Amino acid sequence: MSKSLVRKIIYYLNVILDITLIFSSYIIIFSLFKYKFTIVNYSAFLKVIPVILISGFAIFYTYDLFNLERKKGIEVFVSLFISLIIVNIVGMASSYFLHAFAFPRSVFAFGFLLQLFTIFVEKVIIQRILKKLNGSEKAIILSKEEEAKKLLNSLLKIDESWIDCRYAATGGNIGPISDLIKDADAILMDSRNMFNYREEITKAVFEGKKIIVIPGIYELLLSKSKITNYDDVITFEIPGWNMSNGMKIVKRFIDILSSISILIITSPLILLSAVAIKLTSEGPVLFVQERVGEKGRVFKLYKFRTMIKDAEKYTGPVIAKADDPRITKVGKILRALRIDELPQLINVLKGDMSLIGPRPERPEFVEKFSKENPFYKYRHLLKPGITGLAQVLGNYDTEFENKLRLDLYYILNYSLMLDLKIIFLTIKTILLGEGVVKKEVKDIEKKLNEIMISYEAASYKD
């Protein structure tokens, strides 16, 4: 049986186990707490459980919880935590709207805790199985030396024990690669190297090797194409970019409604943040800065100040980094939890920004990046956003080329469903902020791994 087939079986097994554990947890809680599971309860259960299971599948799919390869335990835990909260809130809401009041609220509360524990343990076990299945995967990176090292560092951040990576690069010319890829399980490369090695890559694909390509703008366009044929000629048809006026109106309506709601809900947090900034450092509470928006228009962006007063007095415009010494102690917390972005809801109401879109940059950096990459200007086809694909999949210090790929992918593939997914991923990004729940979950993961190792050792002795 091939590894790819085993992975597919594990994927579908993961789906079945997750849905089964969500379902069975409520039955277990009913039994443990001796609720009378009468015909009334049973009827209420049957009304609510389909809604829970369908929403559970949708949320788990959105957070990519069925695919566990190359994922950190902290990421899995936080995704699971958020998903189960949403699922149980949906369950409680549906029990109200469906008048299924015989499904007690306490069942949802205790069911959530049981689901979190059992499903997380299940996923730790599946990850260990996948890790053994993959073994020490050998991957060859075909790229210039500097680019290869950057990609290698990114891969090793995930889990250095999962992949045995080497790079093959000699300046701008890699040379013959047939011998290099012979023993490799995977080949990673920048799309700029594909043309020179298309024959070797084609051969590797038919030999069952995995090919991973870092796309350029052209490849992003090609990903939108559909296969058509003119008589006996196969073609790729790439649609031109177009966002209808109707879609723009819907997006604007959602922006206004959501911004007003978020401002009302977070008003205590906004007040607390303003007081904390004022008491702990000199300078204004709000930081106002020029940014470039839709169609290149410059506007005033509002943020909570997270740096010392006059942070760029001696340096001039500098891009902030994750460990920037200019960031204040309160600023670190505000940035980690993305609270510093809340004043931009005013920009959204004014029409300068949207809730979701490419992050707006300063005019100085737009000029610089546009010279380095002529496609950078296409980021301004849409209104900039408070959050975006580059923010949920990247970091503060992600390189501008990688952010540009993500921003252009968002523009090319825009849909309301993609916006919804980014909102869910933003919640996860906030909870994964530096210092937030990381240590606690790592400790839990470590203990579970120790239990598994002890179990395996005991089984081996027997």
CA distance 368 to 359: 16
Which pLDDT value is given to residue 116?
A: 95
SS3 441: helix
For the segment 306-329, the average pLDDT, to the nearest whole number, is 71
Q: Which pLDDT tens digit goes with each residue over 400-415?
A: 888 888 999 999 888 8
> DSSP class of residue 359?
P
Residues 6+ apart with CB under 8 A from 17: 119, 122
Amino acid 441: pLDDT: 47
pLDDT of residue 439: 46
Q: Is the pLDDT of residue 264 over 60?
A: yes
Helices (H), 312-437: 329-336, 344-350, 363-372, 389-393, 400-412, 416-431
The pLDDT tens digits of the residues spanning 424-435 come to 888 888 777 644
**What mean pLDDT value characterizes the chain?**
81
Q: What is the pLDDT of residue 447?
A: 54
Q: Write down how long the chain is.
A: 462
Instruction: Tell me what the mean pLDDT of segment 158-182 comes to.
Output: 55
pTM for this entry: 0.75
Residue 166 scores a pLDDT above 90:
no
Number of Cβ within a 10 Å radius of residue 231: 4
- Please check whether residue 72 is in contact with residue 159, taking contact to mean a CB–CB distance below 8 angstroms: yes
| Antiparallel, parallel or unpaired: β 298-304 and 163-168 | unpaired
Q: What pLDDT shows up at residue 154? A: 67
Q: Which residue has the higher pLDDT, 81 or 45?
A: 81
Q: Is the pLDDT of residue 237 over 60?
A: yes
What pLDDT score does 252 carry?
94
Return the DSSP state at 192.
G
Q: Where are the beta strands (DSSP E) in 225-353?
A: 226-230, 233-237, 286-292, 298-304
Q: What pLDDT shows up at residue 163?
A: 52
Tens of pLDDT, residues 70-83: 777 888 898 999 99
